[in-house]
Structure 1
């Protein structure tokens, strides 16, 4: 039995924005098991130079990622949409186990099945070392980004 993850394609501007925000909120939980449920059982990813397929591999990938990328905070923004596809741009801030801060910028292309589950994700990402004083993403890490926190365009990113 396949679970449905509304909003479902074909996307409108409003439902695409809802889907992007739901993805942002999910990833900001840093709960790999929960995040994996938004993807099809056989979902295929390219994340930087990593190729991942299937929910178990997604859980393993994200678990490893969030051990390395500490105090992870992510903002996503809709770039374009059509039918069952959405393109986003994003940035996230994090630090490594030595306390070095980074802002990672990227673009993702998503493709969804008829149940609203993502079956393909292609991500290109670049890391920029920053000083802790240059951070722009400030909210309680145990909660989603507040509605009044600026988005990427508002922050000039």
Structure 2
């Protein structure tokens, strides 16, 4: 018998709703469980598809009428609406936007300020003193002339 999932409004891979389950214990402590996984477990139990040894504590809770997921599923089927549903894809989109926004703020805040050296305006280029160049040129010419006279 194939399950008609359309009867269960919040049974979806994108449903990130989870709950603390008092029946499913790990090391003696209640465990946080995905509601969608619980729904699939309940349906597998009802259709005798639950493999032996799998989800034993869930099967025991379902038989005893202690499974919260069964009650939640009935409530949703009666109303025909998603009551226990958190759109995980939407949550991830919001988180991504928040991370990108904070990264942009951080980048703006941590932008290096201009250093002192970059704020100092350079003096306009001054004309090189031609007098020094001429003196040097005269000294070189005098030396050359001496050498020529001595030869």
Q: Same fold (TM over 0.5)?
A: no
Q: TM-score range by the shorter chain?
A: under 0.3
- Structure 1 or 2: more helix by fraction: 2
> What is the TM-score when the length of structure 2 is the normalising length?
0.22
> What is the TM-score when the length of structure 1 is the normalising length?
0.21
Whose Rg is larger?
Answer: 2
